[in-house]
């Protein structure tokens, strides 16, 4: 089997874990890594592409029929100077462009990271946006669409986030009081779950919460 996977977000916490797993996974022979520049990890399996993330045609040139596409895309308010319009361009527009390319080119499966509590009717900007992009993607009617909803991620980032560092130390101590969907989860566990599920022939869409991801 000569399966190809296309990965968006390889420099992030979950995306980095996915890439490391993919390199050592014999199921996937080719890894298309889509980024704004060159990544630091080297492997004969990796093909590194730089694209214009505002141009959907660039996505369509790389995503091919029957490919598996995995996306772990996101930004922070501080990175976009607390501009909600710019934030939306990353967390909504880019993901929708990827999904549309999957639809046009008949990709076999699209897996992407959303968030626990995603709800388009939420008063919280972040959760509302996550709910909106989920619904917009589902309306495309993809062959297979797998949505992963982690809460607080545990693991090391390439960038320092003070608030998240404090939360990573404190939240696991009280996680037994939380509803399961909102419990902190290791980024590597999310990555493992995405990789395992991407290999299954799941028709339509499926949403994964904490309990489904941690059981892999």
52: domain CATH number is 3.40.50.720
Cβ 137 vs Cβ 99: under 8 Å: yes
Question: Which residues of the chain fall short of a pLDDT of 70?
Answer: 1-2, 76-78, 80-82, 155-180, 216
pLDDT recorded at residue 172: 53
The number of distinct structural domains making up the chain is 1
Query: In the prediction, which pLDDT does 178 show?
Result: 53
> What pLDDT was estimated at residue 35?
81
CB 33 within 8 A of CB 210: no
How far is residue 6's CA from residue 48's CA, in Å, rounded to a whole number?
10
Residues 100/56, Cβ–Cβ less than 8 Å: yes
Domain limits at 119? 3-214
| Beta carbons of 145 and 137 less than 8 angstroms apart | yes
Within 10 angstroms of residue 51's Cβ, the number of other Cβ atoms is 16
């Amino acid at each position: 089997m000569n399966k190809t996977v296309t990965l968006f977000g390889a420099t992030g916490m979950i995306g980095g874990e996915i890439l490391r797993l993919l390199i050592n996974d014999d199921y996937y022979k080719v890894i298309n890594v889509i980024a704004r520049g060159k990544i630091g990890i080297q492997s004969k399996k990796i093909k590194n592409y730089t694209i214009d993330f505002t141009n959907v045609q660039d996505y369509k040139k790389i995503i091919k029929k029957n490919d598996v596409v995995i996306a772990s895309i996101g930004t922070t308010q501080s990175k976009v100077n607390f501009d909600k319009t710019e934030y939306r361009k990353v967390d909504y527009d880019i993901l929708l462009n990827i999904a549309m390319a999957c639809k046009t080119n008949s990709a076999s499966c699209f897996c992407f990271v959303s968030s626990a509590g995603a709800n388009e009717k939420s008063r919280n900007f972040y959760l509302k946006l996550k709910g909106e992009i989920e619904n917009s993607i589902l309306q495309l009617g993809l062959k297979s669409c797998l949505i992963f909803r982690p809460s607080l991620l545990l693991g090391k980032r390439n960038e320092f986030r003070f608030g998240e560092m404090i939360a990573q130390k404190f939240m696991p101590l009280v996680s037994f009081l939380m509803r399961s969907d909102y419990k902190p989860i290791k980024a590597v566990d999310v990555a493992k779950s995405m990789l395992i599920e991407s290999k299954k022939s799941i028709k339509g869409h499926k949403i994964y919460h904490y309990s489904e991801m941690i059981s892999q």
